[in-house]
A and B are shown apart, each in its own frame.
Chain A
């Protein structure tokens, strides 16, 4: 397997969707190719970083508004009637 071929199936590899024979070939390539090892590991790291980092923080003022609104809706009767 060449680096180019590895790159094509890298997505399936990190998702664990590669068939076992191809996966073994992939692993064999990695054993002898440090740059590809680093690429595979840093792709994994990229995914983990985005999965685990709250890149945007929920604005506290919005959070308050949201909870207030939900509470009001929760209390609200299902059909409108006189106040």
Chain B
């Protein structure tokens, strides 16, 4: 199978078959990304279509053929974010404004700790796994979800994610940590082996443990 750089170079020379191979290679990934951000089939399809049309149109401008995947991902992410902002009736700047103030909430504390480090896809049917993962990520607050998708699903760096969302890298890290912990908690409730559940240990100096809902970390300083 040809690598991306070879296919891009051939496509830039006018070979549609090469371009189509790139489309086939990345269409599923772009669709998943768009669905994670938008949760709506028609919008996700529009994003994928727009992204590939844009890639087709601007392919000649891509100076580093090996960077095709990152370039395409950026186009798809920006297109999806545009749809998201339009949906919210907000301009490009106010996604940040709306979400900036609540960065100081508590980091979710692991409450349910049980092992599921063995591959859960061996015990859960693939389709069921997809459904559960979709439901878990859909339940995340949007600002956490989008950061998680850009960073951990799309593989963008902290800096790229920050830039795409108009956030500071520190903001991105806090949201990402929160998203990862909330998802972990959710998935542990699905996959964790209740019989092997572990109780979070107490350490000298820990705040007294009240009800689980009150188990919070100190507020972080980042704002």
Contacts and interface: CB of A to CB of B under 8 A. Distances in A.
B20 A39 contact: no
A7 to B, nearest CB: 6
Give the interface residue-count category, chain B. 35 or more
Contacts, number: 139
Contact of A66 (B23, B57, B137): B23
A53 B133 contact: yes
Interface stretch (B63-71, B81-89, B92-100, B198-206): B198-206
A48 B142 CA distance: 20
Contact of A55 (B36, B107, B173): B36
Contacts of A54: 28-29, 32, 130
Interface size class of A (residues with CB under 8 A): 35 or more
Given A43-B180, A50-B183, A70-B23, 10 more contacts: A4-B206, A41-B117, A50-B133, A50-B148, A51-B155, A56-B35, A62-B48, A63-B27, A66-B45, A73-B56
Contacts of B52: 66, 70
A55 B27 contact: no
A51 B23 contact: no
Query: Secondary structure at chain A's binding surface: helix, strand, loop or mixed?
Result: helix
A58 B180 contact: no
Interface in A5-64: 7-8, 10-12, 14-15, 33-35, 38-39, 41-43, 45-47, 49-51, 53-59, 62-63
A4 B200 CA distance: 10
Contact of B35 (A46, A55, A75): A55
